[in-house]
Structure 1
Amino acid sequence: MAFFGSSNAAATSTTGDTSKDIEVKREECPTDSISDLSFNPAIDLLAVSSWDKNVYIYELSQQTGVGGKWKFEMPAHVLCVAWSKDGTRLAAGDTEGNLSMLDLRTNPNPGVVANVPTIPKAHPGGNGLQGTIKCCRWFQTNGQDFLATGSWDKTVKFWDFNSTNPIGTLDCAERVYSMDVKDNLMVVATAERHIHMVNLNEPQKIFKTMTSPLKWQTRTVSCFTDATGFAVGSIEGRCAIQYAEDKNTSLNFSFKCHRQQDQANRDVAKVYSVNCISFHPVHGTFSTAGSDGTFHFWDKDAKHRLKGYPEVGGSITATGFSREGNVFAYAISYDWSKGYSVNSPNQPIKLKLHPIVGDECKPRPGSKKR
């Protein structure tokens, strides 16, 4: 969309520009930390989940910019959202294990949607937050849509929404922290640094389990654009590139990111969590964003940073590229990395859209896109 910048604009510096980024109006933004976001794969809509128990859907328009369109409330804090492959349905999960699905085909009129169909305690868990649905992803098998939900109850469940019961359950080694799907590859990252890989032609079977190549707690995983592997980020300011097939293990590597040199002691580096990783749908390059309030674009095949962007005024908690790759959305809010006591009403809560212009996300000449 031309509204988000001309593709003719060229950027030659490795330092990116955020001065043209578009911010969602304060009155249309969540009132508590933003946990997840998801671009619709068919039309220009962006869904956002929040700790304020609401799901927000925004429309991106060349004429009017970005504005709120739909909103619905869940019983508890919402941690994840995901669009179906055709863009008609939006799933969301909360900290009490409830699973909701908004169908735009039956709710075509914008506004606050009441009584969104919900499966109560889809992950019943136990005491406290054990049934929390941390992540959800849609996938297709034999042309049929299914939803996978990953929970702190140490399971991934599969749903077709023909009933309120899951059609299958995958037992994981530990609590599910992050999950992603691309084509037939599903990657599930759990506590204690376990990573499961699943062939979605056999979704109730783990075909490979590994320990994260990063030595500290896993924060996020994201599948490559071509589904040959994934990237993983940790709380210790590192990112690893990992291929699924053993024949490509020589291509695996990790690198440091989201670190700042201590000005008082030049031998000390401040280390920040890598909160989110997103792959560009066209170029196969990827972004990292972290607790230091910066985001960066990378070319994994050239092992090269394409662009680094200045601090945005708070931790970045969720990111994503639009379906055409011309918009990069990022959420600024408290990420709980310093615990409950540090959270306060003064923490920024913002949703911003960065127009992708020029060569910002294009791989270096000679790089092989994967």
Structure 2
Amino acid sequence: MIGSTPAPGAGSGRELSSPPSDGISNLRFSNHSDHLLVSSWDANVRLYDASANVLKGQYAHAGAVLDCCFHDDNSGFSVGADTIVRRHDFNTGKDDRLGSHKDPIRCVEYSHATGQVITGSWDKTLKCWDPRAASGQDSLINTCPQPERVYSMSLVGHRLVVATAGRHVNVYDLRNMSQPEQKRESSLKYQTRCVRCYPNGTGFALSSVEGRVAMEFFDMSEAGQAKKYAFKCHRRTEAGRDTVFPVNAIAFHPIYGTFATGGCDGFVNVWDGNNKKRLYQYSRYPTSIAALSFSRDGRLLAVASSYTFEEGQKPHEPDQIFIRSINEVEVKPKPKAYVNPS
């Protein structure tokens, strides 16, 4: 993609107080407020009011928490190394167990369209749960075998995209989970790190460990597939040598459909996928970018600066969460320049 110059003098944003004490696995803004849900390897899930910079509550798992998502504004689902699917209500303190997998659970999504909770595990299965089941009752609806361990998932409308080890990508319709709607292979050569659906429901972005992002489309017609492409990002050239960094995170802006990527180079870039341009690059963060999330109105961007052990055990910066106030110029696509044919 064509790149813009880095943002001059742009700071990191406002740092949230009381951050996790170990690696941040994910963070997500609520669809209803500036509440931010954060999962961590320190075995806790935390709920923040990002605007007020207040930790509103937290609860613990028996092991590292690998993912979380909101149910409503004050309750959420979480999964992790303890293999348990949990729901927690921060208002009442009520904690429910929906069920479990055989191995650690990497991903969780809640579908507002169908009322299902979907979990993806390293046991090579996808499971669908009914959170309305009576407390203590296993709420399992469906189990879908996967070709490999689940690494990342994303929802848009009734569509679920599941990315696994071995570069497999399965696309499901949540209204019929008997088999995938599409079975695909990543167009990137190396291990998938993150998949995120376009807000308009036409496709998904896929990132990998070798500093690339692929833009894919659900339309399998020749014309639809002709629109897909991949581009290099999060790499540095020094003395003629390319250093390539994994792209850990993708987050789409809810208004403009542009998207941010975060890499192990500590940078967050904002891209205009339609015009194949980089709109913005923020100043470097202290360490790897582990997760990103835009608020519901696109005014805020939550950035998890958290070492992801891509270089093994070593001294590293503490885990931090930054909240950026977004200016329109950083995320709004620029109009194409008109060229006078004369």
TM-score, normalisation: structure 2: 0.91
Take 1:147 and 1:359, find their aligned partners in 2: how far apart are those partners?
36
Alignment of 1:53-72 (within 5 A): 53-61=43-51, 65-72=52-59
* Residue 18 to residue 350, structure 1, CA distance change in 2 (3 Å): farther
How far residue 366 of structure 1 moved from its aligned partner, in angstroms, is 5.0
Aligned to 2:68, the other structure's residue is in SS state: strand
Q: Show structure 1 runs of 5+ residues with no match.
A: 1-12, 108-112, 126-130
Aligned to 2:111, the other structure's residue is in SS state: strand
Amino acid at match of 1:271: V
Match of 1:97 in 2: 83
Amino acid at match of 2:326: I
Contact (CA 8 Å) 2:11, 2:283: kept in 1 or not? no
Aligned counterpart in structure 1 of residue 73 of structure 2, from 70, 82, 87: 87
Aligned to 1:246, the other structure's residue is in SS state: coil
Match of 1:38 in 2: 28
Alignment of 1:6-45 (within 5 A): 14-16=5-7, 17-19=9-11, 21-25=13-17, 28-45=18-35
How far residue 103 of structure 1 moved from its aligned partner, in angstroms, is 2.4
Q: Show structure 2 runs of 5+ residues with no match.
A: 338-342
Aligned counterpart in structure 2 of residue 359 of structure 1, from 329, 332, 335: 329
Percentage of pairs with the same residue = 35
Match of 2:179 in 1: 205
Q: How many residues are paired up?
A: 327
Aligned counterpart in structure 2 of residue 216 of structure 1, from 183, 187, 190: 190
Take 1:348 and 1:36, find their aligned partners in 2: how far apart are those partners?
16
Amino acid at match of 1:15: P
Match of 2:112 in 1: 140
Alignment of 1:99-138 (within 5 A): 99-104=85-90, 107=92, 113=93, 116-119=95-98, 122-123=100-101, 125=102, 131-138=103-110
Take 2:185 and 2:88, find their aligned partners in 1: how far apart are those partners?
36
* Residue 140 to residue 19, structure 1, CA distance change in 2 (3 Å): closer
Amino acid at match of 1:274: V
* Residue 291 to residue 184, structure 1, CA distance change in 2 (3 Å): same
Give the RMSD, CA atoms, in angstroms.
1.7
Amino acid at match of 2:333: P
Take 1:20 and 1:52, find their aligned partners in 2: how far apart are those partners?
24
Alignment of 1:1-370 (within 5 A): 14-16=5-7, 17-19=9-11, 21-25=13-17, 28-61=18-51, 65-84=52-71, 86-104=72-90, 107=92, 113=93, 116-119=95-98, 122-123=100-101, 125=102, 131-141=103-113, 144-161=114-131, 162=133, 163-247=137-221, 248-262=224-238, 265-266=239-240, 268-339=241-312, 341-342=313-314, 344=315, 346-365=316-335
Contact (CA 8 Å) 2:292, 2:304: kept in 1 or not? yes
How far residue 67 of structure 1 moved from its aligned partner, in angstroms, is 1.2
Alignment deviations for residues 55-98 of structure 1 (CA, whole Å, 9 cap, x no partner): 0100133xxx31100111111100101012x4353000011211
Alignment deviations for residues 140-166 of structure 1 (CA, whole Å, 9 cap, x no partner): 34xx41110010011110011203241
